C-alpha cells in the first residue's frame, strides 16, 4: 500500500514538474516571440550592404529594442540573417520580436517624401536629393552629368535638371540613381501630356524650350499673377529677335547668386547664358521651374510690352513698358531706390 502511495506521489510530482516546465516554456516563448520589445515609434534605416551584426548593433545602440537577445533568438529562428533587405522601416511602439522580424525581412518599407524645390544648379540638386535618400551627393551628381543618362532622357538641352519638376514624390529611401532618374522621367512625361505638348507647339516651342523660359520667368518674380505677363514680354522679344537681356541668366552664368544688382561689368562674361550678349534662349534652365510657372509660359499674356523693371517700392512687383525711353524712366527709379538703400552689388 505504501508502495502504491509512493508511486502516486512520484507521478503527481512528475506531472507538476512537467506542467511547471510547460508553463515556463510557454511564458518563455511568449516573452521571447510575442511580448512587446520595440520601445518607441521610429523610422529604422538599414543601409545597403549592412550585415546582420550591424543591424543588431543599431537596434541596441539606438535603444530601439529593450532586449536584443530575444530579438536575436527570433531573428535566427526565422532565418532573418539570410533574408535581410535594406530600406527605411516604420517601427511602432510595442511591436513584438515576431512582428519586427517579419517586417524587416518582408522589405515592406515606409516611403520617404522626396521634396524637390526651386534649385538652380546640378550641384545644388544633387546635394538636396542626397539628404533625403540613401544615395550620396557625388553618385547623384555623376549620374546627372553622365552623357549617356542625358541622351537617354530625350532632352535636347544638355542640362537634365528639367526632368526634376518641383513637387513632393513618394520614393523608397534606398532608391538607386538609375531608378530615381527613371522615376523623374515618368513624372516629366506625365506633366508634359498631349495637351501641354500641343500648347507648346502652338506657341512655337518644344517642352524643353518652354521649361527654359519658365526658369527665367521664375527667377524674375515670385508673384504668380505677374508670370504670364513677364512671359509675354520675353515671347515678344523672341518673336522680334531682340536679346532677352534677362539679369537672372547673367547671374547664373557668373555662378554668384549673392548678386542683387547686375552691373555693366557683369555683362562682359562670355557665356551662352549671358542673354545680353547672345540672342534667343540659353542652352538650359537656370533653375527648376514650378508647374504653375510652366503653365504661365504656355498661356502667356499677349500684349505689346517689350520691357519691365522692378518697382521702386520693393514690393516684388514690376512695371511694364512698351518703349525703351519709358523703360529707362522706370529703371532709373528702381536704381535710385537701390542707391538709397546702399545696394551697390
Length of the chain: 345
Write out the residue limits of the CATH 3.30.1490.480 domain(s) in the chain. 35-110
The pLDDT of residue 4 is 59
- As given in the structure block, the three cell numbers for residue 37 are 520589445
Beta bridge partners of 167: 116
Q: What is the pLDDT of residues 105-123, one digit of tens each?
A: 999 999 999 999 989 999 9
Q: What is the pLDDT of residues 23-34, one digit of tens each?
A: 444 444 444 555
Rounded-to-integer distance, Cα 65 and Cα 43, Å: 13
Determine contact, residues 261/344, Cβ cutoff 8 Å. yes
**In whole numbers, what is the pLDDT of the chain averaged over residues?**
89
The pLDDT of residue 29 is 47
Q: What is the pLDDT of residues 231-256, one digit of tens each?
A: 999 999 999 999 999 999 999 999 99
Rounded-to-integer distance, Cα 184 and Cα 191, Å: 10
| Band of residue 5 on the pLDDT scale cut at 50, 70, 90 | low
Contacts of 41 (CB under 8 A, 6+ apart): 90, 91, 92, 93
Q: Give the Cα-Cα-Cα angle 210, 212, 215 (nearest 5 degrees).
A: 110
Phi and psi at 46, nearest 5°, equal: -115, 105
Whether pLDDT at 332 is above 90: no
The more confidently predicted of residues 13 and 259 is 259
Helix runs in the chain, H state only: 2-29, 52-61, 68-77, 97-106, 122-130, 137-144, 147-153, 177-191, 194-202, 207-220, 224-240, 247-254, 291-298, 324-340
Please report how the helices 291-298 and 207-220 are oriented relative to each other, as an axis angle in degrees rounded to 10: 110
Beta bridge partners of 319: 309
Q: What is the pLDDT of residues 86-103, one digit of tens each?
A: 999 999 999 999 999 999
Whether pLDDT at 11 is above 50: no
Q: What is the pLDDT of residues 159-170, one digit of tens each?
A: 789 999 999 999
Q: What is the pLDDT of residues 290-327, one digit of tens each?
A: 999 999 999 999 999 999 998 888 888 999 999 999 99
Q: What is the pLDDT of residues 56-69, one digit of tens each?
A: 999 998 899 999 99
Mean pLDDT of 321-342: 86
Q: What is the pLDDT of residues 252-278, one digit of tens each?
A: 999 999 888 888 899 999 999 999 999
In the CATH scheme, what is the homologous superfamily, with its name and number, of domain 35-110?
Endolytic murein transglycosylase (3.30.1490.480)
Instruction: Please report, rounded to a whole number, the percentage of residues in the chain having pLDDT higher than 70.
Output: 89
The pLDDT of residue 32 is 57
- DSSP secondary structure letter of residue 62: T
* Secondary structure of 219-272 as H, E, C letters: HHCCCHHHHHHHHHHHHHHHHHCCCCCCHHHHHHHHCCCCCCCCCCCHHHCCCC
Amino acid at each position: 500500500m505504501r508502495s502504491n502511495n509512493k508511486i502516486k506521489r512520484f507521478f503527481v510530482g512528475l506531472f507538476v514538474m512537467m506542467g511547471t516546465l510547460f508553463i515556463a516554456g510557454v511564458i518563455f516563448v511568449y516573452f521571447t516571440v510575442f511580448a512587446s520589445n520595440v520601445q518607441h515609434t521610429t523610422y529604422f534605416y538599414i543601409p545597403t550592404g549592412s550585415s546582420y551584426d550591424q543591424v543588431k548593433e543599431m537596434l541596441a545602440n539606438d535603444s530601439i529594442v529593450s532586449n536584443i537577445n530575444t530579438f536575436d533568438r527570433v531573428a535566427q529562428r526565422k532565418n532573418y540573417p539570410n533574408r535581410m533587405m535594406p530600406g527605411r522601416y516604420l517601427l511602432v511602439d510595442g511591436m513584438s520580436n515576431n512582428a519586427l522580424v517579419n517586417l524587416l525581412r518582408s522589405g515592406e518599407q515606409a516611403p520617404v517624401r522626396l521634396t524637390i524645390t526651386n534649385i538652380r544648379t546640378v550641384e545644388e540638386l544633387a546635394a538636396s536629393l542626397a539628404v533625403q535618400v540613401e544615395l550620396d551627393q557625388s553618385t547623384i551628381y555623376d549620374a546627372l552629368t553622365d552623357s549617356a543618362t542625358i541622351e537617354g532622357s530625350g532632352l535636347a538641352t544638355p542640362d537634365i535638371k528639367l526632368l526634376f519638376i518641383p513637387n513632393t514624390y513618394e520614393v523608397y529611401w534606398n532608391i538607386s540613381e538609375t531608378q530615381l532618374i527613371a522615376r523623374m522621367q515618368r513624372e516629366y512625361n506625365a506633366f508634359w501630356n498631349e495637351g501641354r505638348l500641343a500648347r507648346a507647339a502652338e506657341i512655337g516651342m518644344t517642352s524643353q524650350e518652354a521649361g527654359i523660359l519658365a526658369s527665367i520667368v521664375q527667377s524674375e518674380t515670385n508673384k504668380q499673377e505677374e508670370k504670364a505677363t513677364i512671359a509675354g514680354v520675353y515671347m515678344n522679344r523672341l518673336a522680334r529677335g531682340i536679346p532677352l537681356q534677362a539679369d537672372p541668366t547673367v547671374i547664373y552664368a557668373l555662378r554668384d547668386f549673392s548678386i542683387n544688382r547686375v552691373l555693366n561689368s557683369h555683362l562682359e562674361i562670355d557665356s551662352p547664358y549671358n542673354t545680353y550678349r547672345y540672342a534667343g534662349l540659353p542652352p538650359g534652365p537656370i533653375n527648376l521651374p514650378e508647374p504653375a510657372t510652366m503653365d504661365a509660359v504656355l498661356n502667356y499674356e499677349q500684349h505689346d510690352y517689350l520691357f519691365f523693371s522692378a518697382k521702386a517700392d520693393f514690393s516684388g512687383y514690376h512695371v511694364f513698358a512698351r518703349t525703351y525711353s519709358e523703360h529707362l524712366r522706370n529703371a532709373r527709379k528702381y536704381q535710385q531706390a537701390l542707391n538709397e538703400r546702399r545696394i551697390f552689388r
